[in-house]
Amino acid sequence: MNQERLLIIGHGMAATRLLQQLTEGGYGGSITVIGDEGGVGYNRIQLTPWLAGEVSEASLNLVDDAWYRHHRIYRVNGDAVASLDPDGLVTLSTGRTLAFDTAVLATGALPRFPDLPFPPQPAIRAFRSKADGHWLKALPRGQSVVVIGGGLLGLEAAWGLRARGHSVSLVHRNGHLMNRQLSAPTAALLAGAMSQAGITIHLGCELRRINANPVIESVELTNGEILNARVLIAAAGIQPNQHLAQQAGLGVHRGVLIDDQMRTSHPRVFALGECAEFNGETFGLVAPAYEQADVLASVLCGRPAHWSPLQSTTRLKISGLDVVSHGRIDHPDARHLTLNAPGRNQCRRLHFLNDRLIGAEMIGLRSHLELYQRLIEQQTPINDARAVMLGNMKAA
Ligand SMILES: Cc1cc2nc3c(=O)[nH]c(=O)nc-3n(C[C@H](O)[C@H](O)[C@H](O)COP(=O)(O)OP(=O)(O)OC[C@H]3O[C@@H](n4cnc5c(N)ncnc54)[C@H](O)[C@@H]3O)c2cc1C
């Protein structure tokens, strides 16, 4: 019998997928998973629809308690790993120690807070966990909320909070929303739709000061404006949570350095998901974390596999407003083809480099997305860009 003791540190989306793949792949060792949040693995990306009241809390769960029992997965809930000795021992914040033969770091990422002085308080927080969601859901209606960051997380948080009846302002450093996934014209349409929903958008500025006495009252922007703020949500990016790896002397840069089998610099320790860095890249979406989990499960089950990142699709989960971006939308030499119906909040913009499709952004028009994804992944030569736009592409 295989006596290998596998220990997974962090019990988020990557860890849960890894557990599922290990059980399906017939992993023979014993498995322990340690999560500081408590509960079963849940779908973090559904936190926004839950905040907005569109789905139930129970529907977030990826598995149930019986599933862990059935697969004899031992859970340590609501306790954090405080230190890691890569030669085979972790110490929890409660002082308890656990030995392992192989460990996997799946500690996710931490939100970036504004680099400004403020007294610590619950009203200045991120929106990353069920605990954050519970706190935000308990707020009485009509609060002044400022969300920092006009990327996916900030927009979704702003939307969810607006849906709960708060007065929401969103501050974004760049001149247009979702600047890493959308070009300026598409983002302008999105900004219009957010404004129609009652969210006030402040572009091209940052926070200069947080006025708190000691509870937050307002914020001052770099353009001089002062916004009332009873709650401040930090959604201006994340940083890989690589503290344990760093303290353990593993190779780290922005994230925990891994190879294409998720191995860190120590032979007993693997890492995956948002805490990891591969070939200079870190990943803030669930698709690469799941792909890594699938490969790592194969490796741990004794079936060598290798991972290479694919282009990920970004989707905004805002009800009634379908926003999708795939591939590269910022190549300076790309040609664009745009189909616009601003009155209906619809837009489709394709980016071509030479005779290849390299990026696609869409608002309100989801059709042909799979074709675009395939053409981008396979780098298929294209001789009729308009036909592609209309979904009529036959392989050249
Ligand atoms: C509101 C929201 C919406 C999102 N929407 C999308 C989306 O639409 N599409 C998309 O692709 N991605 C989305 N994401 C990102 C996606 O959720 C992450 O990419 C994914 O969860 C990464 O999985 P992970 O396991 O690496 O990290 P996580 O899911 O964050 O899990 C890490 C876990 O480890 C725990 N942990 C950390 N340190 C320790 C320790 N020392 N001991 C014990 N436990 C520890 C953390 O508390 C956490 O529970 C969204 C994220 C948020 C917050």
54: Cβ–Cβ under 8 A, 6 or more apart, which residues? 319
Hey, what are 174's tokens?
């760049």
Q: Which helix (H) or strand (E) holds 90?
A: strand 89-92
Q: Which atom of ligand 1 is nearest to the CA of 15?
A: 25
- Is it the case that residue 18 has pLDDT exceeding 80? yes
Beta carbons of 215 and 121 less than 8 angstroms apart: yes
- Judge if the beta carbon of residue 35 lies within 6 A of ligand 1: yes
Q: Which residue has the tokens 């969810």?
A: 160
Q: Is the CB of 19 under 6 A from ligand 1?
A: no
Q: Tell me the pLDDT tens digit for each residue of 89-122.
A: 999 999 999 999 999 999 999 999 999 999 999 9
Instruction: Calculate how far, in angstroms, residue 222's C-alpha sits from the geometric centre of ligand 1.
Output: 31
Question: Which one is the CATH code of 5-110+238-300: 3.90.1150.10, 3.50.50.60, 3.10.105.10, 3.30.70.360?
Answer: 3.50.50.60
The finding on whether 9 has its CB within 6 A of some atom of ligand 1 is yes
* pLDDT at residue 49 tops 60: yes
Mean pLDDT score of the chain, rounded to an integer? Answer: 94
111: CA distance to ligand 1 center in Å?
Answer: 10
pLDDT at 396 over 50: no
Residue 288: cis peptide before it, omega within 30 degrees of 0: no
Helix (H, G, I), strand (E, B) or coil at 210: strand
> Which tens digit of pLDDT belongs to each residue from 226-243?
999 999 999 999 999 999
How far apart are the CA of 43 and the centre of ligand 1, in A? 9
Q: What contacts 256, CB < 8 A, 6 or more positions away? A: 105, 240, 242, 245, 250, 264, 271, 275, 276, 277
Using a 6 Å cutoff on CB, does residue 12 contact ligand 1? yes
pTM score, whole prediction: 0.94
Are the beta carbons of 138 and 153 closer than 8 angstroms? no
Residue 2: its pLDDT value, please?
Answer: 57
User: For atom 49 of ligand 1, which residue has the closest CA?
Assistant: 12
pLDDT band, residue 394 (cuts 50/70/90): low
How far, in Å, CA of 209 to CA of 166, rounded?
22
- Domain borders along the chain are 5-110+238-300, 124-234, 320-389
Within 8 A by CB and 6+ apart from 242, the residues are 107, 252, 254, 255, 256, 275
- Tell me, yes or no, if the two domains 124-234 and 320-389 fold the same way: no
Amino acid identity for residue 158 in this structure = A
Atom 37 (ligand 1) nearest CA: 107
pLDDT at 374 over 50: yes
CA dist., res. 353 & res. 101, Å (int): 49
In the numeric block, the tokens 């290998």 are attached to 4
Question: Confidence class of residue 367 from pLDDT cuts 50, 70 and 90?
Answer: confident
- 307 vs 385, more confident: 307
C-alpha span between 82 and 94 (Å, rounded): 9
**What pLDDT is attached to residue 395?**
45
Specify the higher pLDDT residue, 369 or 299. Answer: 299
For the segment 123-181, what is each residue's pLDDT rounded down to a tens digit? 999 999 999 999 999 999 999 999 999 999 999 999 999 999 999 999 999 999 999 99
Q: What is the CATH number of domain 124-234?
A: 3.50.50.60
What is the Cα–Cα distance from 312 to 310, expressed in whole angstroms?
Answer: 6
Residue nearest to atom 50 of ligand 1 (CA): 45
From the list 233, 7, 6, the residue with the least C-alpha distance to 129 is: 233
If one looks up domain 320-389 in CATH, what number appears? 3.30.390.30
Tell me which residue of 230, 224, 237 sits closest to 211, measured CA to CA. 230
Ligand 1 in contact with 262 (CB < 6 A)?
no
Provide, rounded to the nearest whole percent, the portion of the chain with pLDDT above 70: 98
The residue behind tokens 């708190």 is 212
CB of 291 within 6 A of ligand 1: the answer is no
3-state secondary structure of 376: helix
Token reading at 145: 């909320």
Give the integer Cα–Cα distance in Å for 189 and 145: 23
Q: What is the pLDDT of residues 210-225, one digit of tens each?
A: 999 999 999 999 999 9
Ligand 1 nearest atom to the CA of residue 126, by list position? 53
Which contiguous run of DSSP H or E holds residue 31? strand 30-35
Separation of CA 21 from chain center: 21
Distance CA 125, CA 111 (A): 9
Residue 361 Cβ < 6 Å to ligand 1: no
User: How many other CB atoms are there within 10 angstroms of residue 224's CB atom?
Assistant: 8
Is 90 exceeded by the pLDDT of residue 342?
no
Ligand 1 centre to CA of 44 (Å) is 6
